Copies of this chain bind each other. A is one copy, B any other.
Amino acid sequence: MGAGEYCRFGILTASDRASSGEYEDLSGPSIEEFLEETLTSPWEVERVVVPDDEQRIVSSLIDMIDNRGCSVVVTTGGTGPSPRDVTPEATAAVCDKMLPGFAEKMRSISLNYVPTAVLSRQVAGIRGESLIINLPGSPKSIREILDEVFSAVPYCVDLIGGPYITTDSSVVEAFRPAHARRE
């Protein structure tokens, strides 16, 4: 339990309306709240709100990972089919490897709630020693997805050389194979 290592998280909200101030960003805070409830290892968060512009999202992701040292970046918004939805493209552009199974699972969770979850183009991938995960924009969907998939995040971060993240197992049980567990 004391074995958890410090991890910096990034939260990126992609939204024209939230970034112009026309609209309050509720999605970013809902991700932070999830982390608050879930993590037992030490952590800090960097938050940024950017418009739905591919170049702006690309530079923010690079900055969060390469300069600010975030081991996990969670994005929200910009994953739909509309012309302004470009978060998956921006994410793919900065990743070395994609994790298609992560995206498939996130969509299949949302499909339990809404049939239009098939329209989500969200992706997840690896940049260096960091994991990037796209979430949709709605706080309700964000929570539904994180409650289920976050269990795979700590072991993924182990595998790519990041810090050892621990969780409160009454919220989310971090799954690791026996050989990867620290007592």
Contacts and interface: CB of A to CB of B under 8 A. Distances in A.
A81 B104 contact: no
A68 interface: no
Contacts of A99: 81, 118-119, 121
A156 B102 contact: no
The count of identical subunits is 3
A101 B115 contact: no
A86 to B, nearest CB: 9
A126 B83 CA distance: 9
A111 interface: yes
A151 interface: yes
15 contacts: A80-B159, A81-B156, A81-B159, A82-B159, A101-B103, A102-B118, A102-B119, A114-B177, A115-B148, A115-B149, A115-B151, A116-B176, A116-B177, A118-B149, A119-B155
